[in-house]
Amino acid sequence: MPQPVPALEAVLALASSSVDAHRANAAICAERAAQEAVHGRAVVFEVLAGAEGDLDWLSGTVLPRLTYHLRAKKLRAPRAPGAFVALFVKERLYFLDARALYDAVRDLAGWSEEELATRIRRWEETLE
C-alpha cells in the first residue's frame, strides 16, 4: 500500500486528532461543537486526499479552495477562528485548524508570511 507523500505526512502530523473514516459524521459534529464552544462559530472544509497529496496539490488546489470557502462563510484567511479542515486520507479522517494548514503549507513551500498573504489576496481577487 503506498504511503502518503512527505508534504501530506508533514500536514497530517499537525492534526489535532484523527478517527476512522467510518466515524466521520459523528466526529465532524463533535469537532464542530468544540469549535463553536471556543470561537462562537464553526466552519468545516472537507477534503479528500487522493494519490496527488503532494505540495503542489496542497498549495495549488487545497489552499485556494479553502480560501474561497472561508470567504463564502465571511471569514478571512489565514486567520479564521473556528475554521477547521476535515482531511480524509485513505481510511482515516484528520482534523486540522485552518490556520495551521496555511502555516504548514507556507513553511513546506518556503514562502514568507508576506508571500502567503499575497497569494491569499490573489485567490480572493479571483472570487470578486
pLDDT tens-digit readout, 60-73: 999 999 999 999 99
Cβ contacts of 72 within 8 Å, gap of 6 or more:
none
pLDDT band at 96 (very low <50, low <70, confident <90, very high): very high
Residue 22 has phi, psi (to 5 degrees) of -70, -10
Helices (H), 81-126: 98-109, 113-125
Residues paired with residue 19 on neighbouring β-strands, in sequence order: 93
pTM above 0.85, yes or no: yes
Structure-model confidence comparison of residues 57 and 126, the more confident one: 57
Between 53 and 113, the more confident residue is 113
Q: Is 32 helix (H, G, I), strand (E, B) or coil?
A: helix
Q: Where along the chain do its domains lie?
A: 6-123
For cell 495551521, the residue is 100
Distance of alpha carbon 115 from alpha carbon 120, whole angstroms: 9
Mean pLDDT for all residues in the chain: 92
Examine the pLDDT at 24 and tell me if it is beyond 50: yes
**pLDDT category of residue 53 using cuts at 50, 70 and 90:** confident
Asked whether residue 121 carries a pLDDT value surpassing 50, the answer given is yes
